[in-house]
């Protein structure tokens, strides 16, 4: 389990989407970085599939509104956390493993003036540094794929939610088992730990105590999104190399091409899961 954690940190320390490249691009486009608005970050800081629309679906499923207290599991650079605060008036605490991402999230949040309602703290979702019954909603997007013990992360979500609280998350799923070579490629390229099927996630949610509210298979939707995202990463690789910011390692690009193919043939895919801790 220690190996998985270090591998995820190593992957995200080198990831081409970074605070540095976001600020360099904005600086180049605007000529300065003064008075940045949250909306100016949104085209760059959402490290999941489907961008702001995907956030809005989570908000609707979890009934997020003014003052909702959210824990964002695996918050990355804090893009969704800032969006839920700015668009819906939520108070968001992100839990993020990789120190460089915690630091980047802090800087981006401060630059757009959302630091009173958004904080990303360093932590592991398998041992969340928040008290029990302290939040209304737990969200997570495209991140539990890195977490070796998903049941433990879901138990932690259950523990910190108030009675009646909601969990809504999206994640990679495996519709069929991966070959040994694909499993190795996903691990070496993107720090992918064991993946769940849609049914397995339903089972885990129930086992830790949640009532399952809905499960959506996002595989078809993602197959289209991922083709565009692959082109974005290929462009970003060149931009980051020119800018001298983290550019990602060769295995990342190799594994991403294979990942897109595996989603296109529905070996892998995506799921959106909503559950509730009954009052
Ligand atoms: C694909 S990014 C998603 C970021 C964010 N959810 C978003 O949509 O922009 C996945 C993030 O999960 C974090 N992560 C991986 N394993 C974690 C763990 N066990 N606990 C907390 N964060 C973790 C990584 O460091 C990375 O920043």
pLDDT in tens, 174-227: 999 999 999 999 999 999 999 999 999 999 999 999 999 999 999 999 999 999
Ligand 1 and 79: CB distance under 6 A: yes
Helices (H) and strands (E) in the chain, counts: 11, 7
Ligand 1: which of 78, 146, 160 to mutate, most ligand atoms within 8 Å of CB? 146
> Where residue 2 falls among pLDDT bands split at 50, 70, 90?
low
In the chain, the domains with their CATH numbers are 2-174+193-218+269-276 (3.40.50.150)
Sheet with 161-174, side-by-side order of all strands = 118-122, 91-96, 69-73, 135-141, 161-174, 268-276, 211-217
CA dist., res. 279 & res. 31, Å (int): 52
Ligand 1 and 81: CB distance under 6 A: no
The rounded percent of the chain whose pLDDT value lies above 70 is 99
Stated pTM of the model: 0.96
CA dist., res. 103 & res. 18, Å (int): 10
CB atoms within 10 A of CB 9: 17
SS3 129: coil
The pLDDT of residue 5 is: 73
Ligand 1 and 98: CB distance under 6 A: yes
Q: Tell me the average pLDDT across 222-236.
A: 92
């Amino acid at each position: 389990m220690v190996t998985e954690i270090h591998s995820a940190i190593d992957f995200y320390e080198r990831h081409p989407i970074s605070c540095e490249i976001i600020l360099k691009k904005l600086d180049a486009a605007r000529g300065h970085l003064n008075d940045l608005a949250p909306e100016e970050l949104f085209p760059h800081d959402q490290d999941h599939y489907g961008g702001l629309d995907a956030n809005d679906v989570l908000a609707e499923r979890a009934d997020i509104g003014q003052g909702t207290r959210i824990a964002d599991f695996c918050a990355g650079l804090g893009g969704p956390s800032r969006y839920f605060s700015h668009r819906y008036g939520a108070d968001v605490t992100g839990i993020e493993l990789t120190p460089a991402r915690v630091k980047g999230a802090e800087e981006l949040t401060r630059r757009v003036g959302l630091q009173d309602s958004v904080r990303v703290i360093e932590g592991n979702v398998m041992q969340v540094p928040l008290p029990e019954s302290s939040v209304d909603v737990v969200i997570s997007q495209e991140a539990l794929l890195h977490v070796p013990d998903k049941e433990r992360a879901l138990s932690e979500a259950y523990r910190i939610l108030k009675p009646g609280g909601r969990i809504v998350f999206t994640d990679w799923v495996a519709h069929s088992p991966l070959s040994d070579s694909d499993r190795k490629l996903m691990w070496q390229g993107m720090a992918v730990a064991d993946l769940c099927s849609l049914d397995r996630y339903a089972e885990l949610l129930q086992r830790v105590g949640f009532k399952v509210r809905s499960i959506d298979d996002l595989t078809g939707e993602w197959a289209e999104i991922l083709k565009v995202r692959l082109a974005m990463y290929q462009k970003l690789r060149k931009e980051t190399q020119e800018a001298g910011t983290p550019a990602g390692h060769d295995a990342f690009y190799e594994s991403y091409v294979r990942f897109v193919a595996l989603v296109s043939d529905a070996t892998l895919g995506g799921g959106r899961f909503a559950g509730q801790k009954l009052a």
